[in-house]
């Protein structure tokens, strides 16, 4: 899976627990479909399409309960059906621009959205970059009330996190955990600078927001580890940090593996 820099014996042992192999998969037609995809990144360099990336927004200061995080951010979460792939997105700007994982929408122009209020519409991919596994979508129609999530926030190992997504088609599912590590790599090293977390995510969760205790989007969920090769959640998941997803710099890391969800 992923390996951490060999700084010390303890750090090396910590990285080894992530496993030896992993793959990426998405949900399609109610079944798990294993797909061989390279990890992709979004940004100003190497991206394609038009459209400006969303920017971090004002930061709430109060710590919330998990229920309150869901109440605040749930209206910003979107169900994405792209061809046979099921994924998640999050509204990231007042104009309805949506952030999601690139591998969810890769290779198809048939992208359908369902907003939290039930509004259904088509979307087009306006920007994507394979190195960051993040894409931006532009809906053809918007719900009556657009509720963008608040982007940005510091990330610290051990801090609580909340994931909202559509795992296995179970829409608007919520899970909790902590930040397990930072600057991780996955997908044979093609994805780097990742946030490692242990909140439960599964196929269909890709593209969903990883949130901190204030309800801020700190990352976009992209993959899970699969050390046993059994396509089961092993308690290790990864998200692209929101700063990187919005066009921040890339880091260099050792090789690793990842399972896109």
pLDDT, tens only, 164-222: 999 999 999 999 999 999 999 886 667 899 999 999 999 999 999 999 999 999 999 99
Has this prediction a pTM greater than 0.85? no
Last residue of a domain, one of 90, 119, 139: 139
* Residue 162 binned pLDDT confidence (cut-offs 50, 70, 90): very high
Residue pair 239/219 in contact by the 8 Å Cβ criterion: yes
* pLDDT over 80 (residue 32): no
Residue in the structure block whose two tokens are 């394979």: 130
Residue numbers annotated as active site: 103, 133, 206
Number of structural domains found in the chain: 2
Q: Which of 132, 131, 80 is nearest to 108 (CA)?
A: 80
Classify 41 as helix, strand or coil: coil
Is the pLDDT reported for residue 17 higher than 70? no
| Burial class of 10 by CB neighbour count within 10 A (0 to 12, 13 to 18, 19+) | exposed
CATH number, domain with residue 103: 2.40.10.10
User: Residue 174's domain spans which residues?
Assistant: 9-40+149-260
For the chain, give percent helix, strand, coil, nearest 5. Answer: 10, 35, 50
Domain check: are 253 and 176 in the same one?
yes
Reply yes or no on whether the pLDDT at 41 is more than 80: no
Please, are residues 97 and 123 in contact by the beta-carbon 8 Å criterion?
no
Q: Any idea how long the chain is?
A: 261
In three-state secondary structure terms, 169 is helix
169 and 232 housed in the same domain = yes
Domain-embedded: residue 45:
no
Q: CB–CB of 107/68 below 8 Å? A: no
Question: How much of the chain, in percent, has pLDDT values that exceed 70?
Answer: 69
- The region that residue 107 occupies, defined by phi over 0 for left and psi between -120 and 50 for alpha, beta otherwise, is left
């Amino acid at each position: 899976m992923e390996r951490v820099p060999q700084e010390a014996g303890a750090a090396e042992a910590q990285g080894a627990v992530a496993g030896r192999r992993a793959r990426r998969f998405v949900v399609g037609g109610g079944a798990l479909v294993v797909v061989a995809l390279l990890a992709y990144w979004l940004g100003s360099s190497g991206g394609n399409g038009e459209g400006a990336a969303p920017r971090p927004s004002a930061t709430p200061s109060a710590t919330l309960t998990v229920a309150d995080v869901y109440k605040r951010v749930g209206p910003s979460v979107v169900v994405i059906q792209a061809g046979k792939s099921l994924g998640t997105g999050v509204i990231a700007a007042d104009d309805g621009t949506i952030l999601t994982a690139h591998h969810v929408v890769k290779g198809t122009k048939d992208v359908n959205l369902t907003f939290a209020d039930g509004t259904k519409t088509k979307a087009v991919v306006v920007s994507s970059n394979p190195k960051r596994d993040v894409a931006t979508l532009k809906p053809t129609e918007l719900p009556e009330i657009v509720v963008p999530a608040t982007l940005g926030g510091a990330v610290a190992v051990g801090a609580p996190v909340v994931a909202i997504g559509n795992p296995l088609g179970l829409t608007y599912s919520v899970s909790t955990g902590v930040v397990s590590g930072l600057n991780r790599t996955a997908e044979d090293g093609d994805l780097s600078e990742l946030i490692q977390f242990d909140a439960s995510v599964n196929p269909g969760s890709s593209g969903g927001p990883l949130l901190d205790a204030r309800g801020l989007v700190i990352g976009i969920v992209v993959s899970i580890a699969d050390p046993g090769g059994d396509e089961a959640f092993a308690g290790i998941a990864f998200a692209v940090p929101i700063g990187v997803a919005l066009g921040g710099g890339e880091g260099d890391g050792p090789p690793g593996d990842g399972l896109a969800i």
